[in-house]
Amino acid sequence: MWRPVLIAKLVGRFSLLRPIRAHTVHYIYNQTTQATPDVNMNMNMNMNIYSGEPISKRKIGENVSRNEKVNFLVKILNDLDDSKEPVYNALDAWVAWEQDFPIGPLRQALIGLEKDHQWHRIIHVIKWMLSKGQGTTMGTYGQLVRALDMDHRVEEAHEIWVKKLGVDLHSVPWQLCHQMIAVYYRNNMMEHAVKLFKGLEAFDRKPRDKKIVKTVGDAYEILGLIEEKERVLEKYKSLFNETSSSKISKKSSVKKSKR
């Protein structure tokens, strides 16, 4: 019962929605709830308000907490049909409640969707954000690549990487590079994995994690390029030695503490 009550409550508070936005809210409402007559009456009264001038001069979103808005959006997105149009309509209506584009709350909503493994919905939300010219950061594109990979759309993930991230290998964070190499490896795209690593080496960028080196070495081996595998392992052997040294030092410190 909380959902129809909350929707009626939120719609009642956001009294500056334009008529087209109000219809979108009504659409979301009908898609996601089976309301009681009292709640339907409340909704209809609120919808009538939007057909003319607002009767309240309160700012959009006043008295509604950020967490409440985020939770509301996540609930709505989880209940909607998992297709582009209803998700975009829901997001349009949700943003209409804000004076400034709510990039922070949207990132919170994406985290919530990720916890629920709602990869397809995450893709819709990020693409909608980008269509509005918002969130055009490496982090956003990295999150989109991850969602596409988890949604078994690796070709799209590769396309995003090539167009938005791979063009800037001298500065793209290693975390994203590692992520993409792992995507290529999991999807048996070994040529792309080693090509990406070579591109990073061309900018004299050294991997920070032995896992990357091992993955690339395994990719070379699968491709039958044993000499290249040995070259990579030899070149970055210090990463493996550092790990061994740190383990030894930890054991020594544990022994000393026991004494």
DSSP states of 69-123: HHHHHHHHHHHS-SSHHHHHHHHHHHHHT-SS--HHHHHHHHHHHHHTT-HHHHH
Which residue, 66, 101, 136, sits at the end of a domain?
136
Residues 1 and 109 in one domain: yes
Categorize the per-residue pLDDT at 197 as very low, low, confident or very high, splitting at 50, 70 and 90.
very high
DSSP state of 53: S
Residue 11 has pLDDT above 60, yes or no: no
Lowest mean pLDDT among 49-58, 199-208, 250-259: 49-58
Specify the number of domains making up the chain.
2
The answer to whether residues 15 and 118 belong to one domain is: yes
Whether 147 is covered by a domain: the verdict is: no
Answer yes or no: do 107 and 176 share one domain.
Answer: no
Would you say residue 150 lies in a domain?
A: no
- Asked if residue 62 and residue 32 are part of one domain, the reply reads yes
What does the chain come to in residues?
Answer: 259
Examine residue 94 and state whether it is found in any structural domain, yes or no: yes
Is the same domain home to 38 and 122? Answer: yes
Does residue 169 sit in the same domain as residue 215?
yes
- Structural domain for 18, as ranges: 1-136
Say if 112 falls within a structural domain: yes
Identify whether the C-beta of residue 66 lies closer than 8 Å to the C-beta of residue 89. no
CA distances to 8, 26, 157, 216 from 111, rounded to whole Å, are 25, 26, 19, 30
User: In this structure, what token pair is assigned to residue 92?
Assistant: 């349009």
The predicted pLDDT at position 39 comes to 40
- The set of residues, in sequence order, having a beta carbon less than 8 Å from that of 144 and lying 6+ positions away, is 122, 123, 126, 127, 157, 160
**Same domain as 186, residue 95:** no
Q: Is the residue at 146 inside a domain? A: no
Distance CA 114, CA 151 (A): 12
Q: Name the pLDDT band for 23 (thresholds 50, 70, 90).
A: very low
Contact call for residues 54 and 21 (beta carbons, < 8 A) = no
Are both 8 and 104 inside the same structural domain? yes
Establish if 58 belongs to a structural domain. yes
Residue-level pLDDT at 80:
86
Is 60 exceeded by the pLDDT of residue 209?
Answer: yes
Question: Are 207 and 122 part of one and the same domain?
Answer: no
The mean pLDDT value for 229-258 works out to: 70
Residues 6+ apart with CB under 8 A from 141: 160, 164, 165
Are 94 and 178 in the same domain? no
Same domain? For 93 and 167 the reply is: no
Q: What is the mean pLDDT of residues 249-258?
A: 53
- Global pTM exceeds 0.75: no
Does 112 share its domain with 194?
A: no
